[in-house]
């Protein structure tokens, strides 16, 4: 209701201080202090969960004063134009909402709704009725302007190079993207800090005809096998050296786990495939035999920490030593004892060959895959919320890997999605994370061609200052 000449007097029977950040509560019976104590919203259709609206007094440097604001924004699309608020003050005789976009003033009765989508202030008169002691605060209700659970994708470049790569690998190294490739007769390196602008670098000692899929980073160095008896390493990504092994050959590098680099090796004496690990990448200890149907190439692997704080490794798909296409998902907590998830859960509905997997936002994300006819599956992109046991398509179409092309609605200032730049289904891509939780998808192969494009995406919530 409008306040003109009649004051509506509201008497608060209990006067409560706000709880401090330490969790204590102070009580005062001051009749002259009109300071703000708390603001809550009554649950209704607009604000279904009032506990999500937590307000406090925060200093605003732009106005050199404190405002009433919720630092944690309300969920995306929350309506705040019809809200039943409850204000409390250290003492109060009457309080009024003042809309600053019009001369409207509304008395706080506890029964009227307030439109918090409009700019407004609240004025409180202390219990002794002295208007000169009134306090006035700007009230700001924050609502997320974007969907927090939306992954926003963008194509950064259509092609990094034109060297017709036979094999390629991208790694986040020394705060940059390092994109390695070879074509059977030469090897190349391109680096970038943003995925858009790339610089060619000169390589020394780098193998020109090895598969690069198992290149990994360990203890500040890059390592590469897939060249039989040699394992290559580099401290800067440019100059590479190799060490020749005589008792076994490297089949592939697996992961960085338990402060060790792990590999699959084949003993020269008996041809058996075994695990091996090293604390320095130089001296290796051969362990037990790998399980049946454990991959030796073109697999996806990851070491990560579970929600319970346990270190864990996962190896997905790939080819066995006899070139059998695998659909197994191997999990281990020590690198020696392995459990095959695929025996009890078949939700990974495609063979994950030359796929990529990352740990992101307490989930595992899997990119790329082919079917039993060796054809790339449509827009293959899966997630797991249970450490790789089961896999699902993302729960919203907005998570699809594509970039919306935004245009203005004719005659308005509103935006609309006109079309999309669609991500080409592929495998052999590299998927890496930078230091700000940004995902990069680089290169790969379709059924008909080699790609060197770059896509980037990030969960909107990862951009929020407060999580």
pLDDT of 17 over the 70 cut:
no
| Mean pLDDT along residues 98-120 | 90
Q: What is the pLDDT of residue 208?
A: 86
pLDDT of 29 over the 90 cut:
no
CA-to-CA dists, residue 2 to 7, 80, 134, 153, 336, angstroms: 10, 20, 19, 48, 74
The β-bridge partners of 260 are 257
pLDDT of 242 over the 60 cut:
yes
Q: In this predicted model, what pLDDT tens digit does every residue of 61-100 receive, in sequence order?
A: 888 999 999 988 888 888 898 888 999 999 999 999 999 9
Query: Whole-angstrom distance between the N-terminal and C-terminal Cα of the chain?
Result: 38
Q: What is the pLDDT of residue 16?
A: 33
Tokens representing residue 373 in the block:
């006819």
Q: In this predicted model, what pLDDT tens digit does every residue of 147-186 receive, in sequence order?
A: 888 888 899 999 998 877 889 999 999 999 999 999 888 9
Q: What is the pLDDT of residue 149?
A: 82
The chain-wide mean pLDDT, for the chain, equals 86
Q: In this predicted model, what pLDDT tens digit does every residue of 314-366 receive, in sequence order?
A: 999 999 999 999 989 999 999 999 999 999 898 887 778 899 999 999 999 99
Domains of the chain in sequence order: 36-140 (2.60.40), 151-463 (2.120.10.80)
Q: What is the pLDDT of residue 19?
A: 30
């Amino acid at each position: 209701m409008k306040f003109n000449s009649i004051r509506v007097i509201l008497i608060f029977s209990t006067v409560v201080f706000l709880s401090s950040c330490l969790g204590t509560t102070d009580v005062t019976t001051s009749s002259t202090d009109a300071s703000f104590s708390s603001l809550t919203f009554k649950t209704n259709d607009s604000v279904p969960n009032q506990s999500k609206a937590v307000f406090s007094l925060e200093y605003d440097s732009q106005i050199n004063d404190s405002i009433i604001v919720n630092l944690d924004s309300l969920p995306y699309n929350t309506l705040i134009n019809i809200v039943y608020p409850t204000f409390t003050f250290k003492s109060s005789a009457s309080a009024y909402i003042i809309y600053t976009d019009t001369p409207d003033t509304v008395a706080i009765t506890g029964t009227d709704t307030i439109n918090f989508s409009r700019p407004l202030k609240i004025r409180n008169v202390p219990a002794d009725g002295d208007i000169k002691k009134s306090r006035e605060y700007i009230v700001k209700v924050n609502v997320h302007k974007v969907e927090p659970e939306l992954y926003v994708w963008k194509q950064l470049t259509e092609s990094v190079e034109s060297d017709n790569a036979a094999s390629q690998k991208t790694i986040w190294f020394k705060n940059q993207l390092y994109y390695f490739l070879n074509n059977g007769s030469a090897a190349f390196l391109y680096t970038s800090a943003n995925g858009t602008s790339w610089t060619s670098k000169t390589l020394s000692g780098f193998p020109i005809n090895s598969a690069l899929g198992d290149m990994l980073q360990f203890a500040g160095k890059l390592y590469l096998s897939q060249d039989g008896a040699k394992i290559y390493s580099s401290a800067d990504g440019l100059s590479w050296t190799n060490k020749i092994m005589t008792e076994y050959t490297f089949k592939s590098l697996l992961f960085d786990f338990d402060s060790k680099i792990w590999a699959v090796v084949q003993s020269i004496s008996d041809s058996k495939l075994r695990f091996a690990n090293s604390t320095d990448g130089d001296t290796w200890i051969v362990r037990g035999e790998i399980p049946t149907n454990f991959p030796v190439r073109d697999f996806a692997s990851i070491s990560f920490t579970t929600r319970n704080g346990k270190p864990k490794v996962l190896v997905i798909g790939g080819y066995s030593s006899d070139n059998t296409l695998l659909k197994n998902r191997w999990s281990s907590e020590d690198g020696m004892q392995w459990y095959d998830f695929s025996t009890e859960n078949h939700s990974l509905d495609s063979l994950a060959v030359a796929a990529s997997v990352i740990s992101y936002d307490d989930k595992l994300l899997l990119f790329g895959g082919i079917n039993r006819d060796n054809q790339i599956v449509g827009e293959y992109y899966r997630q797991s919320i249970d450490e790789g046991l089961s896999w699902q398509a993302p729960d919203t179409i907005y998570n699809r890997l594509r970039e919306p092309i935004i245009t203005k609605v004719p005659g308005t200032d509103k935006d609309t999605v006109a079309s999309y730049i669609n991500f080409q289904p592929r495998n052999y891509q590299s998927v890496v994370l930078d230091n700000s939780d940004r995902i990069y998808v680089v290169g790969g192969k379709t059924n008909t061609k080699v790609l060197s494009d770059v896509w980037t995406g990030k969960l909107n919530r990862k951009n929020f200052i407060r999580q």
